[in-house]
Amino acid sequence: MSYQTLLSSLENGTLVITINRPDKLNALNKDVINDLSKVMDEVYNNADIKSAIITGAGQKSFVAGADISEFTSLSANEGAALAATGHKNVFDKIENCPKPVIAAVNGFALGGGCELALSCHFIIASDNAKFGQPEVNLGLIPGYGGTQRLTQVVGRNRAMQLLMTGEMFSAKDAEQYGMVNSVVEQDKLIEKCKEILQVIHAKAPLAITKVIECVNYFDHTQAGYDFEIKKFGECFATEDKNEGTSAFLEKRKPDFKGR
């Protein structure tokens, strides 16, 4: 199938899905979310696809976050609805996919990009990758599961620091935090993911699905996701969110008032 904002290619049973908006550092706008939803349906339903790799076009960015330009005019309810739709149609679909899905993080994985990587079954990163949840710079919090999945992966105290400072961290740091399984040179990234998937393809597919189901059962926090969606929506009723998103788009520092 072909997609407006994605490239996809199937080789040896692995569908490589490339988010293709390099001029906007592959930011997740509504079109990308729609396409990711459709491509995940294809992964679920096409028997020729045994696994998937999600990556970003270009050498600079995996995904630099949700598209901030779509945030400026949303109400609290619309903000919560945006997060809930993304959860249901993309992030939960990836997490619960019966076939393995690897994030091949090839540059910036910020905000929704970091959350997208965390929703995959595991992460392989190139040595130039940079992770972060910088939503607090915009007067926001993560809305695609970041407060929950990052905490599960790196632990409470480190998650608190990363979520409150919004600071970027390197692929090596992410590996040390237990978030990234391996760090490789950028031109070896897809090859490394394919190698791992070839090992998995030789195993019993129904057993692989059950591994995914059981690991996700252990981690399952639907109430946490719902609570995050509610709190994310509440940010949209604040002046600080207007100031933060305007400041980003106007390329200046925000001046937050706590209102």
Query: Which residues are known catalytic residues?
Result: 115, 135
Distance CA 87, CA 229 (A): 9
Strand partners, 52: 15, 101
Q: How far is the CB of 111 from ligand COA (least distance, A)?
A: 3
Number of residues that bind ligand COA (CB under 6 A): 17
Of 65 and 79, the one with the shorter C-beta distance to ligand COA is: 65
Q: How far is the CB of 45 from ligand COA (least distance, A)?
A: 30
Structure tokens at 221: 């926090």
The distance from CA 116 to its chain's CA centroid, rounded to whole angstroms, is 1
> Residue for token digits 């919560």?
80
Interaction between residue 65 and ligand COA (CB under 6 A): yes
Distance CA 39, CA 47 (A): 14
Contacts to ligand COA from residues 89-118, by CB under 6 A? 108, 110-112
Among 35, 67, 92, 240, binds ligand COA (CB under 6 A): 67
- On whether the CB atoms of residues 67 and 112 are closer than 8 A, the answer is no
Of 35 and 67, the one with the shorter C-beta distance to ligand COA is: 67
- On whether the CB atoms of residues 18 and 8 are closer than 8 A, the answer is yes
Residues 6+ apart with CB under 8 A from 146: 111, 114, 115, 118, 133, 135, 163, 228
Distance CA 167, CA 234 (A): 23
Q: How far is the CB of 240 from ligand COA (least distance, A)?
A: 14
What is the pattern of x (binds ligand COA, CB under 6 A) and - over residues 123-162?
Answer: -----------xx-xx------------------------
Binding site for ligand COA (CB under 6 A): 24-25, 27, 64-69, 108, 110-112, 134-135, 137-138
